[in-house]
Structure 1
Amino acid sequence: MAIRYRKGRASPWQCYWNNPLTGKRECANFITQHEAEKHDSLIKHRIKFDRESFKKGEMESEEPQTITLEACYLLYLREKQFSKKSLLWQMDSMRRPLEQFGMLPIADISREHITKVMDDMAKTGVKPVTVRKRLSVLKTVFRWCAGNGYCSMPDFPKLPSGHYEKFIPPTPEEITAILSVASPHIARTVVLGAQLGVRVGPCELLQLTWDDVDLEQRILRVHGARKNLQALWREVPIRESLLPIFKTWKVQDIRDGAQHIIHYRGKPVQSLKTAWRAALRRAKITRNIRPYDLRHAFGTEMIAAGVDVGTVAKLMGHSTPIMLLSHYQYVMDRQKRAAVESLPDIGHVPNGMCPIEKAPTE
């Protein structure tokens, strides 16, 4: 399987492969590279899961009541025409169901089959939220099959809760320990995540360039992760104590010819996983702390300092404070208790203000 470009053709992008049943070369031509890549992913899926579909007319000749889950899933993919990234997610989510009962007639698949897949995922350490996401794909496929008359909708078991695990953000002491041993691009990640609330990952942090930094106005312009559709970007003020650090970084990057703020030897960074784990190991931190937890530390410290939730939500790029109210509830509960305890003591309370009813006598 491969894709090639043929210059001067009306449909220049060609996807070609060897038929696994006959061994003969087959191909399909497309106008754009994107279409060719999508078709290439589909062919790979057919070769891995449904080789019999390469027999001409076999898919069309199957009766609805005897069609297997694999064959029906292939028809589903053909109709939906997912992007390459979505197709890979679909294939990964359906891997276990296809392995266990992909060759069964789809009408014979019962609640017990689906429950067994769910239990097997849990036994192998798959988190409940991931189990829910993957089996939701299977549920969607069954809905499509039922709508097209291939089967009736089976009695699906209740999927695990979709709530994420409660996170424990890094403490100021842990952040200081990481900074003291981190490589330069991880140190920048710590500052931008814990001090400016940037989403640590390709959606925000790894896209930042020096064009997004205004040192005169002390503002960092963060282009959103498409989670707040009301604003394409947000402006986060840079603390005055961080200004010399940013100026030093900029001088170094101009000298090295680096455009991105997070880079490794002048080249943009694609992943922080390896360097982050090395920093935790050198800092002698044994508990699991993710790079994204730096952003949680930003929100936690802001709320604990008494900043109103609406302002914190705007700084973190949330359209509403609902996310903060659910994720940082434990911080706000502690803050409420501290606020009540800060009230001035009114001294002795007369007994008349707190009447005590006598117990009824028989």
Structure 2
Amino acid sequence: MGIQFHQFRKKKPWVVTWRNPWTGKRHTQAFDDEALAVAFEEAQAEIAAKERALLRKARKQKTSQSRISVKDLLESYFRLAHSNPVTIRQAQYHASHVISAFGHRLASQLDRQDILNFSEAQHLRGIAQITVNRRVSILRAALNWAVCNGLLATNPLRDLRLPRARARRIAPPTAREARAILDVSAPHVQRVIILGLCAGPRIGPSELFRLEWKDVDLAAAMLRMPSARKNHLEDGRDIPIRGDLLPILYAWWRHDSALGIRHVITWGGRPVRSICRAWHSALERAHINRRIRPYDLRHAFATYALAGSADIGSVASLMGHVDASMILNTYQHVQSAQKRAAVEAAPDILGLANRGQKLPGI
């Protein structure tokens, strides 16, 4: 960049030359007055300095974008993009399988074949397609977040299409299975079974394992179940205690009060976080080979309440669902007897009972 004086006839004598730092092209501008040329040259020098700084920043950002690993990306995503602790814990569990597969890989170098390989490996381990889709979706959401926040230039999985999958429905425990598990379970698991089937809470630290005796009003036959932090406006919901459960709760309360125990579900006097091992041991002792989860007690509550003619709205409210359609879509595992009753419920408008022997082919 500089100023030159040229004595040309019929032309402006002062010429400023400069080079665009973005394109590298050389430019010139002529002026009649030296002061105007100097002011223009100074302005172009300042602009060029700012443009070079922007170029250095862009190059540095591009370098950092190309160096962020999948593991670092997911950790940043959970730390900065989420505030719901329940959502974070659930997503981190699924993301851990993604990290195990290619956490060391650079996020910018992921491609469709990586996801296909990951999906195949998950299927070989017996993981359902719906779970695989959830894990890949968490990764793709993190990549989208990284693009929005300048950590990546583009999402390499932006155009990826996941195969459709249906949720695997696990039938809740039958009455026979529930009694068999109850008879051989440890005392704290027995409490989980009884409250799960009679109140329909989420089985785990988000709800049932947080329940304390101060939340149980035996005189009013009402308990205040802590609500999971899933877009709920309230911290808990009121659930009536059924009459045949009251004497059992009284016995539990007397036992725990004598020992100074605060929580309803405890092991060795201490609150529990999981009953996974004790639950599977109970299934083995009950000689139950099919898959039944503690969470299926909640499913059973909805299924049998609806089978007993409870209205959907009340069941949804008791279970902490804002939308009653969630009950129909997820929790109502209709039994064979209910299906047959539904078929037989329609009137015989064609008079088939009388015409059956007269129809052709019979």
Partner residue in 1 for 2:103: 98
Q: Tell me how far 1:127 sits from its aligned partner.
A: 2.9
Q: Give 3-state SS (helix, strand or coil) of 2:334's partner.
A: helix
Q: Tell me how far 1:208 sits from its aligned partner.
A: 0.9
- Decide whether aligned partners of structure 1 residues 269 and 349 sit closer, same or farther in structure 2, where only a CA change above 3 A counts: closer
- Decide whether aligned partners of structure 1 residues 154 and 288 sit closer, same or farther in structure 2, where only a CA change above 3 A counts: same
Partner residue in 2 for 1:173: 176
Contact 2:225 2:239 in 1 (8 A): yes
Partner residue in 1 for 2:62: 64
Contact 1:178 1:283 in 2 (8 A): yes
Partner residue in 1 for 2:35: none
Q: Does 1:130 align with 2:131?
A: yes
Q: Tell me how far 1:274 sits from its aligned partner.
A: 1.1
Contact 1:94 1:137 in 2 (8 A): no
Q: Which has the larger radius of gyration?
A: 2
Q: Tell me how far 1:193 sits from its aligned partner.
A: 0.2
- Decide whether aligned partners of structure 1 residues 159 and 342 sit closer, same or farther in structure 2, where only a CA change above 3 A counts: closer
State the Cα deviation string for residues 203-261 of structure 1 (Å, max 9, x = none): 11111111111111111211211336244322212121121111111111112221111
TM-score, structure 2 length as denominator? 0.68
Q: Give 3-state SS (helix, strand or coil) of 2:237's partner.
A: strand
Q: Give 3-state SS (helix, strand or coil) of 2:316's partner.
A: helix
In the alignment, the residues of structure 2 paired with residue 235 and residue 142 of structure 1 have an alpha-carbon distance, to the nearest angstrom, of 41
**Stretches of structure 1 lacking an aligned partner (at least 5 in a row):** 1-58, 357-362
Contact 1:93 1:137 in 2 (8 A): no
In the alignment, the residues of structure 2 paired with residue 190 and residue 252 of structure 1 have an alpha-carbon distance, to the nearest angstrom, of 18
In the alignment, the residues of structure 2 paired with residue 328 and residue 115 of structure 1 have an alpha-carbon distance, to the nearest angstrom, of 32
Q: Tell me how far 1:329 sits from its aligned partner.
A: 5.1
In the alignment, the residues of structure 1 paired with residue 290 and residue 126 of structure 2 have an alpha-carbon distance, to the nearest angstrom, of 18
- Decide whether aligned partners of structure 1 residues 350 and 240 sit closer, same or farther in structure 2, where only a CA change above 3 A counts: closer
Contact 2:73 2:142 in 1 (8 A): no
State the Cα deviation string for residues 143-169 of structure 1 (Å, max 9, x = none): 345453844443543224464321210
- Decide whether aligned partners of structure 1 residues 336 and 68 sit closer, same or farther in structure 2, where only a CA change above 3 A counts: same
Contact 2:70 2:102 in 1 (8 A): no
Partner residue in 1 for 2:25: none
In the alignment, the residues of structure 1 paired with residue 353 and residue 120 of structure 2 have an alpha-carbon distance, to the nearest angstrom, of 62
State the Cα deviation string for residues 81-134 of structure 1 (Å, max 9, x = none): 4489749555553332335xx15x82x543223322232222233332332222
Partner residue in 2 for 1:281: 284
In the alignment, the residues of structure 2 paired with residue 245 and residue 299 of structure 1 have an alpha-carbon distance, to the nearest angstrom, of 22
- Decide whether aligned partners of structure 1 residues 214 and 347 sit closer, same or farther in structure 2, where only a CA change above 3 A counts: same
Partner residue in 2 for 1:154: 156
- Decide whether aligned partners of structure 1 residues 176 and 66 sit closer, same or farther in structure 2, where only a CA change above 3 A counts: closer
Matches within 5 A, 1:158-237: 158-161=161-164, 163-227=166-230, 229-237=232-240
Instruction: Return 221-230 or 172-181, whichever deviates more.
Output: 221-230
In the alignment, the residues of structure 2 paired with residue 162 and residue 329 of structure 1 have an alpha-carbon distance, to the nearest angstrom, of 19
Contact 1:304 1:335 in 2 (8 A): yes
- Decide whether aligned partners of structure 1 residues 69 and 120 sit closer, same or farther in structure 2, where only a CA change above 3 A counts: farther
Partner residue in 2 for 1:115: 116
Q: Tell me how far 1:185 sits from its aligned partner.
A: 0.6
Matches within 5 A, 1:1-362: 64=62, 68=66, 70-71=68-69, 74=72, 81-82=79-80, 86=88, 89=93, 90=95, 92-99=97-104, 102-103=105-106, 106=108, 108-147=109-148, 148=150, 150-154=152-156, 156-161=159-164, 163-227=166-230, 229-328=232-331, 331=334, 335=338, 338=341, 341-342=344-345
Q: Tell me how far 1:302 sits from its aligned partner.
A: 0.8
Root mean square deviation, CA, Å: 3.7
- Decide whether aligned partners of structure 1 residues 167 and 228 sit closer, same or farther in structure 2, where only a CA change above 3 A counts: farther
Matching residue's letter, 1:194: L
**Stretches of structure 2 lacking an aligned partner (at least 5 in a row):** 1-56
Q: Give 3-state SS (helix, strand or coil) of 1:64's partner.
A: helix
Contact 2:71 2:99 in 1 (8 A): no
Q: Give 3-state SS (helix, strand or coil) of 2:214's partner.
A: helix
In the alignment, the residues of structure 1 paired with residue 346 and residue 61 of structure 2 have an alpha-carbon distance, to the nearest angstrom, of 76
- Decide whether aligned partners of structure 1 residues 116 and 62 sit closer, same or farther in structure 2, where only a CA change above 3 A counts: farther
Contact 1:94 1:134 in 2 (8 A): no
Sequence identity percentage: 36
Contact 2:110 2:156 in 1 (8 A): yes
Contact 1:179 1:190 in 2 (8 A): yes
Partner residue in 1 for 2:38: none
